[in-house]
Amino acid sequence: MIRQRLTGLVAGLALLLASCGGDGGGGGSAGSSSSGGSSGGTTNPYTDPPAASLTTSDVQQILAQAIAQAKADGQPAVISVVDRVGNVLALFSMTGAPAMLTIAPAPNGQNIDLQGLAIPGAAAASAIAKAVTGAYLSSSGNAFSTRTASAIVQAQFPMEPGTVGLGSGPLYGVQFSQLPCSDLAQRFGSAGAGALIGPKRSPLGLSADPGGFPLYKNGVLVGGIGVEADGLYSYDSNVMATNLVTDERIALAGTEGFDAPSSITANTISVAGTLLIYSDVSTSQLSAVTSATWANESGAGSLVALNGYTAGTIIAGSAYGSESSGIRPAQTSEFASPGAYVLSDGSGNNRYPIRGGTDAGDVPAPLTASEVNTILAQAFSVMSQARAQIRNPLNSLAQVSISVVDTRGSVLGVVRAPDAPIFGIDVSLQKARTAAFFSNAAAGAQLLANPSPQSPLLAGSGSPTVASYVSAVRTFLNNPAALTGTYAFTDRAGGDLSRPTFPDGTVGNPHGPFSVAAAQFNPFATGLQSALITDNVLQHVLYVLGKSATDTPQYCTATPPVTGTQNRLQNGIQIFPGSVPIYRGNTLIGGLGVSGDGTSQDDMVAFLGLNNAGTATGTVSNAPKAIRADQITVTLPNGTSANLLYVNCPNAPFVNSNVQDPCQGL
């Protein structure tokens, strides 16, 4: 089908790219409650999602429907079902299903990082990654598929052949989250065999390959389904054309009776004037599968075990919001803002209780627990008044995850809204760590000391080393002191340096120094971001396939540790907006990350939340204006120049207020 595009695309993109840099136009005072300045009230602004979960019978029915469609299409498949927090409830391989998984090659044929790899036996990993993606990107207000993910992670948005001058996707880089090395992700069996505590990891991060959908029961998100049938782990390079992918047909058949409400599917949600995509297949194009039964279809293959994910049986899912799911309502003693959720260990304990900084040996006065609590409370307050950008119905409140770290990357607190997408937990932590890391005086030295890539699977690939990106950025900025703490970096600023053109979407300009060239890009190699974690992913894949007895450690990157095995980038970096570094005067003391809604909303919750925390405490603040990255001017080869961006706060962002540009002058 030809995509319908809303008017105002160019204007919408311009709005997204415009930086307030703390100095946007418009009016309004960030200190008032109407602009998100209050620390919240006594009323819960949110409704908790109803308790619901997939039963073993549900999982059997979903599998039976997918198997029936695969048989009708003559395409044996590997099929995975997960619950909302990522537990693998079943992994089924049909007889004759592909075992080999080939990752899409680079457009110019010069493969680096994960591009172009052919991995025997990895089809099961693909199916799980797709199922996790469908579950993690969705909520009660939005249903996103892996085809949706494909559209929003690419170098150009929307991806249309022959169209030039468009910026990269709004979630460019999110595919390198939920990584198998993440210290946030719970591992299968780590808390006792069969424990359903989440969020769980994905073997390949988030997927941009069509064939993954969320699953709902009575409108409540309960999980996801992923299918690998063609053996190619790829992406949709032309969103304007219909691509009838067999993986997507089979997965969509599995959702019948568990399908997303039509009012929240991605094709009802627009970003920058463009409707997103949910599926290139409709249920009317499928076989009649709702009468399929597990008893009749299970003989088409077998349930399979996979190291680190499933014992090869069908299990029931965990009800999101319950203690056993690992994500539940906060007790007032843990975090007082009404409506907040926290991560739990399944035994009643908050996994990330609010605490002070661990970096007393590095900074004169680390963050205190009281300051961390105030930062989280003020950011939560801004969120709970903000208008959501990717949720239906219109004028819904934003729902995000919020993380605070110290300069070592240690987690000092994580809170979230009840129905925020799960992917935002790991991403908010990535964003907080990324802002703190690139604002740190040790950033350049630590990247230079990183030996990646080392994996034998990359031998002879020509993949750039992590260290090479340091010289690239210093040359690009004409500043040999870059990455030594002289400037404060947000994820929006670092994202500018991580795009295939600089400024983003500018035709004919060079790529950012943390990026690969546009001709090199696909979702499996973004530049420094992918180079940092490729070794971890490949080590994990070998473990999953039984070719190595050693799994990737529960920390990402080979960046030197700051204490024990802890490094500053334990779950990788993120390169799309939604973070600010935290300062005490001129001294970096941590990072604040936000994820789960539109990128401008994420930016605002972080920037304005920290500003308001500074007003409340008088001791913490955003970076001084003089050292913010938007003070960096880049001179380009054609003689033009451009500044990096710092944050972008949306106009009229609050549900019950007409305040404009709330970040003005801050």
- Domains plus CATH for the chain? 29-48+330-440+577-643 (3.30.450.150), 56-303 (3.30.450.150)
The pLDDT of residue 45: 95
pLDDT band at 271 (very low <50, low <70, confident <90, very high): confident
**What is the pLDDT at residue 237?**
84
- Band (pLDDT 50/70/90 cuts) for residue 39 is very low
The residues near 336 (Cβ < 8 Å, ≥ 6 apart) are: 377
First to last CA, the chain: 46
Express each pLDDT in 209-223 by its tens digit. Answer: 999 999 999 999 999
Q: Map tokens 């843990």 to a residue.
A: 334
Average pLDDT of the segment spanning 159-173:
79
Three-class SS of residue 200? strand
Rounding to the nearest 10 degrees, give the CA dihedral for residues 105, 232, 178, 383: 90
Among the listed residues 353, 416, 344, 427, the one whose alpha carbon sits nearest the alpha carbon of residue 384? 416
Residue 229, pLDDT above cutoff 80 = yes
Say if residues 583 and 592 touch (Cβ distance below 8 Å): no
pLDDT at 38: 40
What is the rounded average pLDDT for all residues in the chain?
91
CA–CA distance, 651 with 178 (Å, rounded to integer): 31
Is pLDDT at 334 greater than 70 in this prediction? Answer: yes
**pLDDT per position as a tens digit, 73-122:** 999 999 999 999 999 999 999 999 999 999 999 999 999 999 999 999 99
- Whole-angstrom distance, CA of residue 500 vs CA of residue 493: 14
pLDDT value at residue 9? 26
**Percent of the chain's residues with pLDDT above 90:** 83
**Per-residue confidence band for 191, with pLDDT thresholds at 50, 70 and 90:** low
Mean pLDDT of 440-469: 94
Whole-prediction pTM? 0.94
Q: What is the pLDDT of residue 513?
A: 98
**Residue 194, pLDDT score:** 52
Burial of 536 (0-12, 13-18, 19+ CB in 10 A): buried
